[in-house]
Amino acid sequence: MYQNILMAYDGTTEGREVIRQGGELARMCQAKVFLLAVLATDPGTPPDEATRENAAAIVRDGVALLEQTGLACSGGVEIGEPVERIISTARENRHDLIIVGHRRMGQLARWWRGSTGASLVAEAPCSVLVTVAP
């Protein structure tokens, strides 16, 4: 069914649910996985080296977890607006599924910050799975 899966991962509880559910689906489909962390930045303010290294370490740990289960997995870190970077990466690498975690927020916070999952569904070049932690 799916052959090339992009998982958005940030090391949070919601991100670990992406690894758990997404990894299970990837194994069933025998799919390749690309684990992507996106460092959101304010315009004109790039992340410092420590922040970049922390994100790279989170991705390495996630890749290792997925590889331990037998999946073919690689990963990377992008800098920019998360929805734009996820969609761009999915297009460039011809991913056929994007998996993101759902972070529970109040109505005001969701209105203020927006929903990454909802924006991805509206703009993605492929299917989108939004995981929810039990």
* Residue 113 pLDDT greater than 70, yes or no: no
Place of tokens 């994007």: 98
Taking alpha carbons only, the member of 89, 81, 116 closest to residue 35 is: 89
Is there a contact between 87 and 121 (Cβ–Cβ < 8 Å)?
no
Q: What is the CATH number of domain 4-131?
A: 3.40.50.620
pTM comes to 0.88
HSE-up of 25 (CA within 13 Å, CB side)? 22
Q: How confident is the model at residue 109 (pLDDT cuts 50, 70, 90)?
A: very low
Is there a contact between 27 and 66 (Cβ–Cβ < 8 Å)?
no
pLDDT one-digit tens code per residue, 39-91: 988 777 889 999 999 999 999 999 999 999 999 999 999 999 999 999 999 99
